[in-house]
Amino acid sequence: RRLCVDLTPLEPQDLWCFWVNVYHSLLVQSLIVCGRPRNVRHLISFYNNCSYLVGGHIFSLAELEHLVLRSQMAKASARLMNLLVQVWRRDDREFEERPAFRAPYNPSSNFRCRPDWRLNLVLCAGNLASSSRLPVFDKMSAAAFDALMSKTMEHFLGAAGRLEKKPMQLPYVLYRFRQDAPGPPTEGHERRWATALAPILGDVDRIAYRSSYNW
């Protein structure tokens, strides 16, 4: 059954929640249907080929992350994008004038989420470098949204990091997208992450990054 989605009435927070839910739904369904990737070739195919049709446009897992959710955030390295990620970059005209299956009109802004550095500790890639739980976002107040975000980030940090180590090891995704760290650019990314995560981690003198992408 095909459902036509009109995203126009959604506020920026609700639009962000919608696309995160879409990404996680596709991830879970793809793991059920295709199984976990067994090697690098399967991994590349998994993220680039498992797709949904949303608002008249086809989006793979890679495109949902890098084209929609991270559209206004730090980009992955050129090497990673060239070697592993295949993203069909569409301009405003393609989004608005070339939807498939007579989908309702959606302005291009409906396919570009607001920037939120917390995405790095919410979006699950399904591997050991991610959280072991998936949040489900519904329509909620800003306070309820922030509370769920904090709870999700706390679990993500504990599952994908090594908080008991000295220095504390944060999930490697925070290094990959270190430009997303909020704070003055004159400070190093380690200090900016430590400051942003202080409500969860407390005062931290030094941090490192844990690099583990096993499934």
Q: pLDDT by residue (tens digit) across 138-154? A: 999 999 999 999 999 99
At 205, the pLDDT band (50, 70, 90 cuts) reads confident
Whole-angstrom CA distances from 58 to 18, 61, 166 are: 16, 10, 44
Range from 9-13, 69-73, 81-85, 127-131 carrying the lowest mean pLDDT: 81-85
> Whole-angstrom Cα distance, residue 113 to residue 71?
7
Residue 86 has a pLDDT of: 82
pLDDT at 80: 64
Cα angle value 139/143/146 (rounded, 5°): 85
Predicted confidence at residue 22, as pLDDT, reads 97
Rg (CA), the chain: 18
Average pLDDT over residues 41-45: 89
State pLDDT tens for residues 179-204.
999 999 899 999 999 999 999 999 98
Task: Provide the token pair at 173.
Answer: 């995704």
Beta 168-171 vs 207-210: how paired, if at all? parallel
- Secondary structure letter of residue 74 according to DSSP: P
CB 45 within 8 A of CB 144: no
Does residue 60 sit in helix, strand or coil? Answer: strand
Residues 6+ apart with CB under 8 A from 113: 12, 15, 16, 19, 68, 69, 70, 71, 72
